[in-house]
Amino acid sequence: MKNYSKIIDGWFSEICPMWPGISLSLEIEDVLYSQKSKFQQIDLFQTKNHGKMLVLDGIIQLTQSDEFAYQEMLSHIPLFAHPHPKDVLVIGGGDGGILREVGRHDCVERIDFCEIDETVIEVSKKFLPDLACGFDDPRVRVHIADGNIFVQNQKGRYDVIIVDSSDPIGPGEALFERPFYEGLKKALKPNGLIATQGESFFLHKECVANLMKITKELFAVQAYSYFLVPTYPGGHIGICLGSLGLELKKPCRKITQDFQKQLKYYTPQIHEASFVMPYFAEKMFDDA
């Protein structure tokens, strides 16, 4: 379902059936890019107070003001939960931000990157070089393909798989269904783990509960983490994690001082705290 929002009186408003009755609005100074690709409408705005903003099919993907929270948490929680991740697969995230963060881990030897829409990569390289620098890493191998199909052809290959998906409308819909998660599991090495964009337990209760149910059934260890992103609906978003055996809620590798200085959001303390759920969410997850 496509629901393109328009700029009215200098303001962009994100309006989506996934969060009915709520609109997030940002003041816009300039439209830097606005074209429809083979898969989706791509807009790149210069906002008044939040830097550049990437919007796909009318839905905010990131703003420069707070993108670090999403990129760091979705990357470093699974990577620090693994004792020695060598082979990593990133699905989605054509802006390159997750690649930027994965690349900070020297132990990683290979990063396969799968993105369905090559135009998102091109636009990000032109307008968001502070994120798209992730593509400059020589360990990265780019695959322009449907992530759902790509992962089904992998077996026992990755230590960590990170899924930076859009919302379950349009190109990202299949990435929230059980067959995709079955493919993720088969693509893991022994003791491998996955981390996927897990939506909001306030706004998307049914979606989150379904992800929890799927991962509980498929993985020996399962958990849900959440963190703050002011320019996402509800001001937060979650990560759904599954592991073939490794503990997820505590980092198993020490973060060096030099590594920590590169970050803005993630710390070992935040890693553990992000798994502490509000009471209603605990009950919802127990019932999943």
Active site residues per annotation:
164
Q: How far is C-alpha 68 from the geometric centre of its chain's CA atoms? A: 11
Do 102 and 168 touch, CB atoms closer than 8 A? no
Q: Rg of the Cα trace of the chain? A: 18
- Specify the residue for token string 């994100």: 14
Length of the chain in residues, anyone? Answer: 288
**Burial (0-12, 13-18, 19+ Cβ within 10 Å), 232:** buried
Cα gap 115→145, rounded to integer Å: 6
Longest Cα–Cα distance of the chain, Å, equals: 54
3-state secondary structure of 285: helix
What are the tokens at 148?
């759902």
Bridge partners (DSSP) listed for residue 128 = none
